[in-house]
């Protein structure tokens, strides 16, 4: 299993909305006592045990629009079929804090997903989308995703990141249907 968090590399982007995929993968690694320190296929990677099986965690170190090359090389190197790839990313169209796991689907305008589709030649892989909400007023969505979460938003996002890790653990142990049933939607 390959779990890829999407984000932009570098300290300047660490706490931005667009980097929730990185945040989830970091939290999953920490819960397993691992650190994404090794480099492979232009990504930081770590190997952990998840539901009694090997899982590779990855944070591509290209910018969002170009992650497909890194994801494709990682999947090829580890012989990962699309059904065993889980991509974790932000979603502007979901209310902040909402999780949505799906077995396949479109990009909903997410350039990182488009890059992966183009590289893998398929849209048929699971993804976990994390709602970051819409920009206020007439703010440009491209600028909004590159803003850090506010202090108040962090209180919510901290809980959301934990829920996302739990969703991935259920996905690994019981499959996507169980994870979708338990975690899709806003926190209850």
> Across-strand partners of 131?
91
Structure tokens at 119: 């590289």
Q: In the sheet that 85-91 helps form, which strands lie side by side, from edge to edge?
A: 38-40, 43-50, 53-60, 2-5, 85-91, 127-131, 99-102
Task: Please give the backbone phi and psi of residue 26, each rounded to the nearest 5 degrees, phi first.
Answer: -60, -45
Is residue 18 part of the annotated active site? The answer reads: yes
Give the span between the Cα atoms of 132 and 145, in whole angstroms: 8
Give the span between the Cα atoms of 51 and 101, in whole angstroms: 18
Please tell me which residue in 13, 18, 78, 110 is annotated as part of the active site: 18
- DSSP SS3 for 85: strand
* DSSP output for 130-180: EE--PPSTT--HHHHHTSBPPHHHHHHHHHHHHHHHHHHHHHHHH-HHHHH
Residue listed under structure tokens 């965690």:
57
Active site residues: 18
């Amino acid at each position: 299993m390959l779990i890829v968090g999407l984000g932009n590399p570098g300290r300047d982007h660490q706490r931005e909305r667009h980097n929730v995929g990185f945040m989830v993968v970091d939290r999953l690694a920490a819960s397993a006592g691992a650190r994404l320190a090794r480099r492979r296929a232009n990504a930081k990677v770590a190997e952990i045990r998840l539901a009694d099986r090997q899982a590779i965690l990855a944070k591509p170190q290209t910018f969002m629009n170009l992650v497909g090359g890194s994801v494709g090389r990682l999947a090829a190197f580890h012989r990962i079929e699309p059904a065993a790839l889980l991509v974790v990313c932000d979603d502007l169209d979901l209310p902040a804090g909402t999780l949505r796991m799906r077995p396949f689907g479109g990009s909903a305008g997410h350039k990182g997903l488009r890059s992966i589709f183009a590289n893998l030649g398929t849209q048929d892989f699971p993804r976990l989308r994390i709602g970051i909400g819409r920009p206020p007023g007439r703010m440009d969505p491209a600028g909004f995703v590159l803003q850090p979460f506010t202090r108040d938003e962090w209180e919510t996002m901290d809980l959301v990141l934990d829920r996302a890790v739990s969703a991935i653990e259920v996905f690994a142990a019981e499959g996507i249907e169980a994870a979708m049933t338990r975690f899709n939607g806003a926190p209850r």
